Amino acid sequence: MDPQALGVTLTFDAPATGEPYPLTVRFTGRRTDAAGPPAPEDTFDIVDTIAQVVPGSGTVSLTQRIEGITSGEWTVRAVPVVDPAAPADRAMPRPARVDGRTGYAPVVRVRAPGVRVGAWPALVGAGTAVALILQSLFASRAGLPAGPVLILFLVACLVGIAGALLYYRLEHPGQRRMSASPGGMCIQGFVLAAVGTVVAGALLLGLPIGRLMDANAPGLMAGMAIGRVGCFFGGCCAGRPTVSRWGLWSSDRRLGIRRFPTQLFESALALLIGSAAGAALAVAEPSPAGGVFVATVAAYTFGRQVLFPLRSLRRHTWYGRHLVMLATGIAFASAVLALLM
């Protein structure tokens, strides 16, 4: 199947002690089933650099994908590039060679050690199903019509997916979208588009917006909690490399290494907040209507900002995170105070 690509991984053990250091690896390849002199598409020479190999972090895997080459059988060599300024006793991975063939590019782009192909769509789909069930249950408990509310939530999910894709494009202009990759979506875009759709639908159907949004809160968090586990196994939203006891070996589909499992931290955060929101709706009819939803989203957004420094994601500004934490902290405190009063 076209397009074809080649995926190779160099795996080695980080040294047990020492200071973090960069590592550059040269990947060279040659097609072995070529007839006659090799064409430009029958060879490649690519250099890739790991910004920091952290001693004590255990096994490290570096995955390289090569596109725009001729499909067929290939032999590939990976050779570490020695830095003349590096200490002479620095441990370096040994040169390695592997034979293999090209594969379907959209699949090659998402395969890597530690990545479970299909885990992201499966768990995000399961999270969506659980969210819809919970939203329908809490909507019925609030006296809202089950059928129209379920249809509205389904439409909101579809619009939310479009919002997640658009938000990612706006945040990453010019970046090529990888087919079949869980990357390329932002949860902020999903929430904004889905919530906007629910509000617009409530106005159109004559439903009470506050009560409808409250019914949406536990399901939204449950979907996040399940979906973020899919991010962990799918290799997106990865954490920073670490030797901390909190670290788990995982991959961002390029570099497999011991990392902060920020996806699982965020999953636990969403589960905790969603449980609290569900308990509040189960024991009483909160007033003012909409207060539970505001408190839920504010708490979740605040928690995300707390976790952001643990992600291997460069922020656009140094002050944006602090402004969001201030705004969501005020929103959460105001909503909780209003509910208690």
| DSSP of 6-71 | EEEEEEEEPPSSS--EEEEEEEEEEETT--SSPPGGGEEEEEEEEEEE-TT--EEEEEEEEESS--
Pair (128, 78) in one structural domain? no
Report pLDDT for 180. 39
Is residue 182 a contact partner of residue 227, using CB atoms and an 8 Å limit?
A: no
Write down which residue in 72, 105, 138 finishes a domain: 105
Pair (144, 293) in one structural domain? yes
Cα 103-105-111 angle, rounded to 5 deg: 80
**Closest CA relative to residue 68, chosen from 41, 99, 45, 93:** 41
Report pLDDT for 252. 92
- Residue 226 has a CB neighbour count (10 Å cut-off) of 22
Q: Is residue 114 part of a domain?
A: no
Residue 62 C-beta-side C-alpha neighbours within 13 Å: 23
Count of domains observed in the chain? 2
Q: Is residue 264 part of a domain?
A: yes
Reading the chain (341 residues) residue by residue, the pLDDT tens digits are 889 999 999 999 998 888 888 999 999 999 998 777 778 889 999 999 998 888 888 899 999 999 999 999 999 999 999 888 778 777 788 999 999 999 999 999 989 999 998 898 999 999 999 999 999 999 999 888 988 888 998 898 889 888 888 887 887 666 554 433 445 778 888 888 888 898 898 899 898 999 999 999 999 999 999 999 999 999 988 999 888 888 999 999 999 999 999 999 999 999 999 999 999 999 888 889 999 999 999 999 999 999 999 988 776 667 788 899 999 999 999 999 999 98
Domain that holds residue 277: 119-340
Is residue 300 a contact partner of residue 224, using CB atoms and an 8 Å limit?
A: yes
Pair (123, 100) in one structural domain? no
Check the CA dihedral 263-268-274-276 and report its sign: negative
- Rg (the chain; Cα; Å): 24
Instruction: Please state, in angstroms and rounded to a whole number, the distance separating the CA atoms of residues 134 and 19.
Output: 49
Pair (44, 175) in one structural domain? no
Q: Is residue 69 part of a domain?
A: yes
pTM of the full structure: 0.86
Report pLDDT for 9. 95
Q: Is residue 317 part of a domain?
A: yes
**Closest CA relative to residue 262, chosen from 313, 328, 332, 192:** 313
Q: Is residue 211 part of a domain?
A: yes
Q: Is residue 28 part of a domain?
A: yes
Backbone angles phi, psi at 31, to 5 degrees: -75, 130
Write down which residue in 105, 140, 161 finishes a domain: 105
Is residue 185 a contact partner of residue 100, using CB atoms and an 8 Å limit?
A: no
**Beta strands, E only, 123-254:** 248-251
Q: Is residue 143 part of a domain?
A: yes
Pair (129, 236) in one structural domain? yes
Report pLDDT for 316. 65
Pair (46, 131) in one structural domain? no
Is residue 134 a contact partner of residue 109, using CB atoms and an 8 Å limit?
A: no
Pair (84, 211) in one structural domain? no
CATH code of the domain covering residue 10 = 2.60.40.10
Q: Is residue 111 part of a domain?
A: no
Instruction: Please state, in angstroms and rounded to a whole number, the distance separating the CA atoms of residues 190 and 212.
Output: 18
Report pLDDT for 169. 82
β partners of residue 13:
59
Pair (256, 183) in one structural domain? yes
